[in-house]
Amino acid sequence: MTPRSKVRKPSQERSRVTMEAILQGASQVLRAEGLAACSTTKIAKRAGVSVGTLYQYFANKEAVFEELIDRLLAQRATARSAVLAAQEDSDDLGAAVRGLVDQLLAIHLADPELQHELHRYEAMNGFGRLERYEDRMQGVVAEALVRHAARLRPLETALAARVIVHAMTGVVERMARQDPLSLGQPEVRREIAALLAGYVSPMNPVALLDAGST
């Protein structure tokens, strides 16, 4: 992986504005032309700065991409944590999970083209940032499972959180790569919610097999 190396951290408002313009310029190029076509020259042109100015903030285009990824994952983690923390108890597990999945996928759809290109960059560089994000989300999901334990099947909390995060990430990221807008389709959301609800449901048929043997 190319090391991320910002030349300096902006401390003045004018510098912060310039840095934000560079990041916005990079986002625009990634959406319009994709990762392979994105260069420091194109980023600087979109941002309205010189290439030399860009290099005052970022060592290379990879450093720009990595700053965008860090911000995207931080925003996604904060938003999804808030959604999970706000969920209230409900007697209707299916409706609760369906509403939860709708909210979580809406976060994913906030900027699908940019997310797709940044995900491609992460895939080329070992998924380190995504793995750290998943670790954080496992903790958030584990807390939610504990809060709602009374209406779920008995679970090993840490293991269940890991399975849920890996399963949901795998399904969502794979479908998003094939068609970034597919996650907005009601039937797709329904099936993803069914997958999650079936896993945690007290009526899960595999879990009932274990219960019957005790």
Q: Which domains does the chain have, with CATH numbers?
A: 13-61 (1.10.10.60), 68-212 (1.10.357)
Q: Give me the long-range contacts of 59-63 (CB less than 8 A, separation at least 24).
A: 59/3, 59/4, 59/5, 59/6, 59/7, 60/2, 61/26, 62/2, 62/4, 62/121, 63/2, 63/4, 63/5, 63/6
Q: What is the Cα–Cα distance from 52 to 58, expressed in whole angstroms?
A: 10
The whole-number pLDDT of residue 124 equals 87
Q: What is the Cα–Cα distance from 193 to 97, expressed in whole angstroms?
A: 6
The whole-number pLDDT of residue 108 equals 83
Q: What are phi and psi of 148, to 5 degrees?
A: -110, 20
The whole-number pLDDT of residue 214 equals 52
The whole-number pLDDT of residue 206 equals 86
Residue 38 token pair: 């994105």
The more confident residue out of 211 and 57 is 57
Q: With bands split at pLDDT 50, 70 and 90, how would you rate the model's confidence at 28?
A: very high
Residue 213: pLDDT above 70?
no
Residues in the chain: 214
Task: Out of 29-38, 82-91, 129-138, 192-201, pick the least confident.
Answer: 82-91
Q: What is the pLDDT averaged over residues 164-172?
A: 92
The whole-number pLDDT of residue 144 equals 92
Q: With bands split at pLDDT 50, 70 and 90, how would you rate the model's confidence at 109?
A: confident
The more confident residue out of 163 and 208 is 163
The whole-number pLDDT of residue 1 equals 40
Place of tokens 């595999």: 206
The whole-number pLDDT of residue 3 equals 46
Report the chain's C-alpha Rg in angstroms.
20
Please choose, from the candidates 39, 47, 59, the residue with its C-alpha nearest in 3D space to the C-alpha of residue 17: 47
